[in-house]
Structure 1
Amino acid sequence: MEVQGSYFSTDDYDSRVYAAEKGLLYTFFTPSFQGHGVRCSAHLRYDLNTHWMFIAKFGETIYSDRDEIGSGNDLIRGNKKADVQMQLRVKF
């Protein structure tokens, strides 16, 4: 299991920062952040046997400077945004 954390503090969208995170197998994830907050993620890989592998990732971003995230259909009422990704690999 791997854990990663980031703290960000920017003035506006024009000064946003990017943080590379380990993604699932054959993927990458580089989110951008603006405002003030923290991002934590945990990456878990479990080899069941020589043919099956399970990978999961959980991440959460917590903003300290807002009560809503996004807009329109993507609006989240609150200051936390979480994401979960899972992958099951079968090797023949």
Structure 2
Amino acid sequence: MENWMSLVNVIGTSGAGQFDCGNGEMVNWSFKGQFMGFQWKYIGICVDQTTVETATAVKQSSAGSLEQSMRDLFQRLAARNAL
């Protein structure tokens, strides 16, 4: 789980990729920016390939949206003992 923070440093205005959680388990991540009302916001989406559990977050920064969606996903997986 420590390596996911390094993703925050490599993202730009939009993107997608995969994160290896170990043991061959992968998480797909993506984000995009768009206007919501009069403000530019970023939507982060993370999906665990094994369980198909999905988490989304809307924040003012791309890094914030990705970080929050990853945290939410890992918390959901931990609650289900799926980590």
Q: Normalising by structure 2, report the TM-score.
A: 0.43
Could you say which structure has the larger radius of gyration?
Answer: 1
Indicate the structure with greater strand content.
Answer: 1
